[in-house]
Chains A and B, each alone.
Chain A
Amino acid sequence: MLKINNLHASIEGKAILKGINLEVKPGEVHAIMGPNGSGKSTLASVIAGREEYEVTEGSVEFQGKDLLDMDPEERAREGVFLAFQYPIEIPGVSTTNFLKTALNEVRKHRGQDTLDAVSFLKLMKEKMKLVEIDQSLLSRSLNEGFSGGEKKRNEIFQMAMLDPSLSVLDETDSGLDIDALRIVANGVNMLKTPEKATIVVTHYQRLLDYIVPDFVHVLYQGRIVKTGGKELALQLEENGYDWIKEEVANA
C-alpha cells in the first residue's frame, strides 16, 4: 500500500529525514518510535504533504501512485488520513459542517454521490458511538475550546467518518489520560480491517498496549535504525533509547 524509498526531507534547509525506507501492507499496523527530534512528526507531515517540508530525495508510492506528486487534498481524497498531534481550531465552523464538506469532497473523488443531511447525520450517529463522542461537541466550533482529550477523540471521529485506507496517528496519545487513551485506541481498533493500514507515531509504549503493532520501527537521526515486533516497544520502554543510540554510534 505504502512504499517509502530512500526518503530525504528538510525544512528551511535543515535535513531532517535522511533516507527512510518503509513498506506498509494492507492490514498492517506499524509503530514509529524514537527519541524527541528524531524526525517522527516530520515523516507524518511529509506523508500528508505539508508544504514547509521539502523532499530532497527519494520516493513515496501510495497504492501504486506517486504520492509526492499529489496536493495534500488529493492525498486525503485518495485515502491518506493524518490524525494531528495538535488539531487546529477553526472558529465559527462546526465539526459537523466541516466534516460534511470534507466527506462530500472525498465521496465526489471516489465517484460516490454526495450525502444529503439526513444520511450524513445517520452516518455520524453511527460513528459517534465508536469514539464515545457527544453530539453537542460536534455542533461547536471545530476544536475551539476542546480539551486535549476531546480534540484527539474528534480526530479519530473524523477518521471514522472519512474511512481512509491509510491512517497516520501523530502522537495521538500525547496529553491523554488513561481513559481517553483507551477510548481513542478502541476507536482505532474497531476501524481496523484487512484492507486498511495504520501508522502509529508515538514516543511512549503505552498506546501500543491498546493498539498492538505488527512492526515497531525506531527512528533516530532521520533514519530507521531498528525494526522489530511488538516486543521491541517493550524493550524500549524498559531500557530507554540510549542503547539504540550506542548501537548507532558503534556501527
Chain B
Amino acid sequence: MSKDDQILEDFTKSEYKYGFESNIESESAPKGLSEDIVRFISEKKNEPEWLLEWRMKAYHHWLTLEEPNWPNVNYPKPNYQDIIYYSAPKKKKINSLDEVDPEILETFKKLGISLEEQKRLTGVAVDAVIDSVSIGTSFKEKLGELGIVFCSFSEAVQEHPELVKKYLGSVVPASDNYFAALNSAVFSDGSFCYIPKGVRCPMELSTYFRINAANTGQFERTLIIADDDSYVSYLEGCTAPMRDENQLHAAVVEIVAHDRAEVKYSTVQNWYPGDKNGKGGIYNFVTKRGICAGDDSKISWTQVETGSAVTWKYPSCILKGDRSIGEFYSVAVTNNYQQADTGTKMIHIGRDTKSRIVSKGVSAGRSQNSYRGLVEIMPRAHNARNFSQCDSLLMGDKCGAHTFPYIEVKNKSGRVEHEATTSKIGEDQIFYCNQRGIGEEEAVALIVNGYCKEVLNQLPMEFAVEAQKLLALTLEGSVG
C-alpha cells in the first residue's frame, strides 16, 4: 500500500471529540413549520408586533423559494416539516453564571471553554448559545461602562429595539436567499453587539454555538454594529453531538461598519461532520455578510472550517464607503464524505476600495471541497483593487478540490489579481519529517498547519492555538 493510500485509509479512523450529548432538560416547539410556529417563537420571545410581522413576511417569502441547487454539493434535502424550530433549556437562568444549569456549564467545560475560566483568565467575553437560546453573556458590566452592548439577540430586542429595528435585515434582507429567509422567519436567538463611536473594544467578544437536542435546527442571528471610529474583534465557535440524522444549521450574520470602523470576525467551525461513512452530520447553510457602510472602514473575515457534513457559506463584504477594505481568510478542511462549498463575495462600490482573499482548502478521504468566490467592481468604484489567492491541498486520490472564481469588472480602472495552486502532500515532505524523528501523523499536521499559516496568523492568539489543535485532531489517524 502506498503512503498516499494509507493516509486515505487511516484518515477515516479519526473521531469526533465533541460528540457527547448533554442531559439538559429542554422545552421545545412541536415539529414542523407553519405560521403558528412562527407566532409561537415570537410569543416565547415576547417580541414586539413589528418583529412578528417581519418574521411572517420572511416566512411567506420563504414559501415561494426553492432550495438552491447551484452549490457543488449533493445531499438529501431536509424535510422542513420534520425539524423542531425552537428548543430551549428548561431551567432558565438570568442574572449570573451561578444560576446556569450545571449540566450546561459542564458541557462548556468539556468543550474546553469554561465560562468561568474564560472570564477570569483570558478576558474574553463569551455569549454561549445552546440549541436556540443564549445561555449567558459574561463581562456585560465591564463592557457596559464603555457603552458597548454585547448581549443575546432576544435581550437586544427588548432593550435596544431601536437599534435592532434599524439594522436587522439591512445587510442580509429576509428575502436574500432560501436559508436567510428561513432564518428570518424562525431565528430564536443569537448575539447582538454594538460598539459606540470612538470605542475600541478592549477584549475579544466571543460566542459559542452548540446544537444539543435531537431533531433540532439551530437558527441563530448575529448582528454587529460598529459605529464611527470603533473597533471590535469577534470570535465564534461551534460544536454539536454525534447523531445519525442530519441536523440543520442556518444562521445569519450581519455586520455594519461605519466611518473608519473596523470589525474582525473569526470563526472556528467544528460542527459534527458525520461518521466515516457519511452518516449524520450538520448541514451548515449560513449567510454571513458585512457592509463597509462608512468611508475608510474595514471588515475582515477569518474562518477555519473543519466540521459539518455539508457547508454552504460565503462570508462577504459590500465595500460601499470610499477607501474601505474587505478581507477574507479561510481554511476549509474536508474529510470522509464531507462537502464544502465556501468562499466569499467582495462587492466594490466605493472609490479606492480594496479587497483581499486568501483561501486554503484541504481535502481528504472522499470529500469534495469547493472554493466559490465573486469579485465585483461596480461602475463607480474607481481604482478598486482585489487580490485573490486560492490554494488546494489534496490527500489521497478519492477527494476533489474545485475552484469557481467569478470576476465582474465594470470600471476600467479596476485591478483584479487571481492566483491559484493545487498540490498534494508530498511523500518527500513526509519522509523528510520522518527522518528527523517526526511520526507520520504529526508530519501531516505540521505540513497542513504550515500550508494554512497565512490564515491561522489572522486569528487572535488563543483561537489560533485552538485552531491548530483542531486541524491536528481532524487529521488524527490520517496516516499509519
Binding site for B on A (CB under 8 A): 48-51, 71-73, 75-77, 81-82, 84, 87-93, 97-99, 101-103, 105-106, 109, 141, 158, 162
- Which residues in window 401-445 of B have CB below 8 A to A? 426-429, 431-440, 442
Q: Would you call A93 and B431 a contact (CB within 8 A)?
A: no
Q: Is the CB of B437 within 8 A of A76?
A: yes
Chain A residues, Cβ within 8 Å of B426: 88
Please tell me if the beta carbons of A87 and B432 are within 8 angstroms of each other in the complex.
yes
B436, A102: Cβ atoms under 8 Å?
A: yes
B98 CB to closest chain A CB (Å) equals 37
Which of A87, A91, A109 gathers most chain B CB within 10 Å? A91
Residues on the B chain within 8 Å of A87, using CB: 432
Could you say which residues of chain B place their CB within 8 Å of the CB of A92?
449-454
Contacting residue for B450 out of A82, A91, A103, A105, CB 8 A: A91
Known pairs A88-B426, A90-B433, A90-B447. 10 more at Cβ < 8 A? Answer: A51-B427, A72-B431, A76-B436, A84-B432, A88-B432, A90-B450, A92-B453, A98-B433, A98-B446, A105-B438
- Is there a chain A Cβ closer than 8 Å to B398's Cβ? no
- Say whether B3 faces chain A, with CB atoms less than 8 Å apart: yes
Do A90 and B434 touch (CB < 8 A)? Answer: no
Which chain A positions have C-beta within 8 A of B432?
A: 84, 87-88, 90
A162 neighbours in B (Cβ, 8 Å): 436-437
Residues of B within 8 A of A48 (CB): 435
Question: Which residues of chain B are within 8 angstroms of A88 by Cβ–Cβ distance?
Answer: 426, 428-429, 431-432
| A89 cross-chain contacts in B, Cβ below 8 A | 429
- Is there contact, CB below 8 Å, between B439 and A90? no
Name the A residues within 8 Å of B438 (CB-CB).
73, 101-102, 105
When the two chains form the complex, which single residue of A93, A97, A106 contacts B437, counting CB atoms closer than 8 Å?
Answer: A106
Q: Which 3 A-B pairs have the closest CB atoms?
A: A92-B450, A93-B450, A92-B453
A-chain residues with CB within 8 Å of residue B451 when the two chains form the complex: 91-92
Contact of A73 among B3, B434, B449, B454 (CB under 8 A): B434
- The chain A residue with its CB closest to the CB of B391 is A91
Closest to B447 in A: A90
A-B contact list, 12 entries, CB within 8 Å: A48-B435, A73-B439, A73-B440, A76-B436, A90-B446, A90-B447, A92-B450, A92-B452, A93-B450, A105-B442, A106-B436, A141-B450
Question: Which B residues are closer than 8 A to A by beta carbons?
Answer: 3, 426-429, 431-440, 442, 446-447, 449-454
Indicate whether A72 sits within 8 Å of B3 (C-beta atoms), given known contacts A90-B447, A101-B442.
no
Q: Which residues of A contact B440 (CB under 8 A)?
A: 73
Q: Is the CB of B3 within 8 A of A51?
A: yes
Complex-state Cα separation, A106 to B451, whole angstroms: 24
Task: Name the residue on A nearest B456 (C-beta).
Answer: A92
Nearest Cβ distance between residue A152 and chain B, in whole angstroms? Answer: 14
Minimal beta-carbon separation of B52 from chain A (angstroms): 51
Q: Say whether, besides A84-B432, A88-B429, A92-B454, A105 and B446 are in contact (CB < 8 Å).
A: no
User: Could you tell me the distance between the alpha carbons of A90 and B450 in the complex, rounded to whole angstroms?
Assistant: 7
Which residue on chain A has the smallest CB distance to residue B445? A101
Task: Tell me, in angstroms, the Cα distance from A76 to B431 when the chains sit together.
Answer: 11
CA distance A49 to B446 in the complex (A): 21
Given contacts A92-B452, A92-B454, whether A105 and B431 have CB atoms under 8 Å apart is no
Task: Using CB atoms, name the residue of chain A closest to B423.
Answer: A91
Given that A51-B431, A90-B432, A90-B450 are contacting pairs, would A105 and B437 also be in contact in the complex, using a CB cutoff of 8 Å?
Answer: yes
Please state if A71 and B449 are interface contacts (CB–CB under 8 Å).
no
Which B residues are CB-close (under 8 A) to A158? 436
Query: For A103, what are the chain B residues with a Cβ–Cβ distance below 8 Å?
Result: 437
User: Bound state CA distance, A91 and B446, in angstroms?
Assistant: 10
CB-CB under 8 A from B454, the residues of chain A are 92
Nearest CB in chain A: distance from B424 CB, A? 13
Name the residue on A nearest B2 (C-beta): A51
B191 CB, nearest partner CB in chain A, Å: 32
When chains A and B are docked, how far (Å) is the Cα of A191 from the Cα of B440?
Answer: 28
Residues from chain A with Cβ under 8 Å of B452 in the complex? 92
- The distance in angstroms between the C-alpha atoms of A103 and B433, with both chains bound, is 11
Q: Does B437 contact A109, Cβ atoms closer than 8 Å? A: yes
| A48–B428 CA distance with the chains assembled, in angstroms | 13
Q: Whole-angstrom distance from the CB of B80 to the nearest CB of chain A?
A: 43
- B372 nearest CB across to chain A (Å): 24
A167 to chain B, nearest CB (A): 12
> Are the C-beta atoms of B453 and A72 separated by less than 8 Å?
no
Closest B residue, CB atoms, query A80: B435
A106 to B435, CA, bound (A): 11
The residue in chain B whose Cβ has the minimal distance to the Cβ of A81 is: B435
Q: Are A98 and B437 in contact (CB under 8 A)?
A: no
CB contacts (< 8 Å) of A49 on chain B: these are 434-435
Q: Which residue of B lies closest to A86 (CB)?
A: B428
A75 to B450, CA, bound (A): 25
Greatest chain B CB density within 10 A among A87, A88, A92, A93 is at A92
